[in-house]
């Protein structure tokens, strides 16, 4: 069973982190349980969610994904086998990183997840309106209390990430050991070369989201029809981008050389980066997991990685 270490933490996780974003809207409770069961049966142990999932759906208030994951762990009795990551800061009614908001939100997440601790707790966004020291002290207190084991930063610019780490080091506070950014074959701006160098130097793990560019990198929409995708608008934009279509051709050629799917190859390219121990991808039905998991076993050649690296230049 494959396990990788997250930075210098004690967390040993599967290279495929299961995204909980669809739970409660793209997949109902029964469907979500089926996906979670299939993932666990395949050896998966790393689940990503957030308190804001899925507040954008009419009738939902946020926290639906956490609730489903919590109910599943209770039903299966497997909380100790799972590594759970969730986030604070993007919920429209609980927005930002004000210390009181963080404390309220972590308790709400713990209740929904049905657990006494969160393995990895993210600041879902940076909040420049709140003093970084106040944020750092609040997160540090959560770690010291045992409610949170480790901390992550999602969607942080390099300068703010650097200043947060410097502050924590200066005052011996628990700080971010994992980051999460939008990063895939056709979207690389959030993790440019400068940020990659910083992550390597600091030993910070990057766990990318949007690994398949909303389904574009599966290659299943090359006929121009993205209507069957729950994120069809994003795919449609890429289908009109000639550079993106060119990158997709390179991905297709590399996948064909291995007799692999484009999905698996896109995942394998990400995991070929030395600062990416695990990548996030979601599934609405168990069958979608097969190609995702195959990507964690696929090893690309240096020439193939170079070809994929060179196939896209961020605008």
Tokens 């010291």 correspond to what residue?
Answer: 144
Is 53 among the residues known to form the active site? Answer: yes
52 touches 21 (CB < 8 A): no
* Residue 282 token pair: 């979601």
Sign of CA dihedral 3, 161, 231, 250: negative
Beta bridge partners of 19: 48, 282
Which of left, alpha, beta for 256 (phi over 0: left; psi -120 to 50: alpha)? alpha
The kind and range of the H/E element at 153 are strand 148-154
CA terminus-to-terminus distance, the chain: 39
Catalytic residue among 53, 121, 122, 209: 53
Q: How far is CA 241 from the centre of its chain?
A: 25
Question: Which residues have a catalytic role annotated?
Answer: 53
């Amino acid at each position: 069973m494959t396990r990788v270490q997250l930075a210098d933490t004690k967390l040993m996780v599967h290279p495929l982190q299961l995204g909980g974003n669809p739970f409660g809207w793209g997949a109902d409770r029964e469907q979500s349980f089926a996906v979670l069961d299939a993932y666990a049966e395949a050896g998966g142990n790393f689940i990503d969610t957030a308190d804001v999932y899925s507040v954008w759906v009419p009738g939902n208030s946020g926290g639906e994904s956490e609730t489903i994951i919590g109910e599943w762990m209770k039903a299966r009795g497997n909380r100790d086998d799972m590594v759970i990551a969730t986030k604070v800061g993007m919920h429209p009614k609980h927005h930002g990183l004000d210390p009181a908001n963080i404390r309220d939100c972590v308790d709400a997440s713990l209740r929904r997840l049905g657990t006494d601790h969160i393995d990895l707790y993210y600041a879902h966004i940076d909040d420049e309106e709140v003093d970084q020291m106040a944020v750092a002290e609040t997160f540090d207190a959560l770690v010291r209390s045992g409610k949170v084991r480790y901390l992550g930063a999602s969607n942080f610019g390099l300068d703010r990430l650097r200043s947060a780490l410097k502050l924590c080091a200066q005052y011996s506070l628990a700080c971010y050991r994992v980051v999460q950014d939008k990063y895939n074959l056709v979207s690389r701006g959030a993790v440019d070369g400068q940020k990659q160098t910083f992550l390597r130097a600091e030993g910070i793990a990057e766990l990318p989201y949007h690994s398949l560019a909303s389904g574009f990198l599966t290659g299943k929409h090359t006929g121009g029809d993205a209507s069957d995708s729950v994120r069809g608008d994003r795919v449609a934009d890429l289908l009109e981008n000639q550079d993106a279509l060119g990158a997709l051709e390179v991905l297709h050629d590399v996948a064909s050389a291995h007799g692999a799917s484009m999905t698996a190859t896109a995942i394998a390219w990400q995991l070929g980066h030395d600062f990416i121990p695990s990548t996030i991808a979601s599934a609405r039905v168990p069958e979608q997991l097969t190609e995702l998991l195959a990507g964690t076993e696929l090893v690309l050649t240096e020439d193939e990685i170079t070809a994929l690296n060179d196939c896209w230049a961020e605008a």
